[in-house]
A and B are shown apart, each in its own frame.
Chain A
């Protein structure tokens, strides 16, 4: 079975550019999460969706960040404009059951903003 698929795996861009990260969750999973991992702050939950609806976006750092889930098999995280401090690894994870706590993570998208 395919796991959570993220693209791109690596992205290098210049400050001010728009960045779009993509995620395909595991089929049948109705929860989708976006996390950011940095050395300084560790793993931070940015936003999560249930049945394609954003439930909690309190972790989204600024208005420059936005996330969408147009259907059950696709989500995007967009940063516009990007800044060097956005450099991090962004993980997408999906889950089938709110109460199990078992998240299935993708391999991450490593973003470098110059």
Chain B
């Protein structure tokens, strides 16, 4: 069965600094991969997705992610973090039965 691991439970980053969130997946076939963001008290919002093709995908809010098959990873990055990026971030993988399996999430705190 497919699964997703987010090794970092909590990351603190200074405003203006770069951010990288790690995601490792376990899936036998070519995965469909996603990053979602959840602001406090809100539902999840899709940041970006990878299905095939270019391994570097661009998303909303200035985020990008890189798919590395050899490392079974799909890490999320942002060059310069804004205070509004403080949220919880979820990596997810989709199997053929359309079930999304979410990671445990990484909480990002942005300090001034």
Chain A positions near chain B (C-beta within 8 angstroms):
4, 31, 42-43, 45, 48, 56, 91, 93, 98-103, 105-108
Find out whether the CB atom of A91 lies under 8 angstroms from the CB atom of B43: yes
The verdict on A108 contacting B90 (CB below 8 Å), with A56-B97, A101-B100, A103-B100 known, is no
Find out whether the CB atom of A101 lies under 8 angstroms from the CB atom of B99: no
> Smallest distance from the beta carbon of A50 to chain B beta carbons, Å?
9
Q: Does B53 contact A (CB under 8 A)?
A: no
Find out whether the CB atom of A101 lies under 8 angstroms from the CB atom of B43: no
The verdict on A105 contacting B49 (CB below 8 Å), with A42-B105, A43-B90, A56-B97 known, is no
Find out whether the CB atom of A107 lies under 8 angstroms from the CB atom of B42: yes
Nearest neighbor of B44 in chain A, beta-carbon distance: A105
Which of chain A's residues have a CB closer than 8 A to the CB of B104? 42
Which of chain B's residues have a CB closer than 8 A to the CB of A100? 49
Q: Does B41 contact A (CB under 8 A)?
A: yes
The verdict on A56 contacting B99 (CB below 8 Å), with A42-B104, A42-B105 known, is yes
Nearest neighbor of A110 in chain B, beta-carbon distance: B41
Find out whether the CB atom of A102 lies under 8 angstroms from the CB atom of B42: no
- For A105, give its contact among B34, B45, B92, B98 (CB under 8 Å): B45
Find out whether the CB atom of A45 lies under 8 angstroms from the CB atom of B97: no
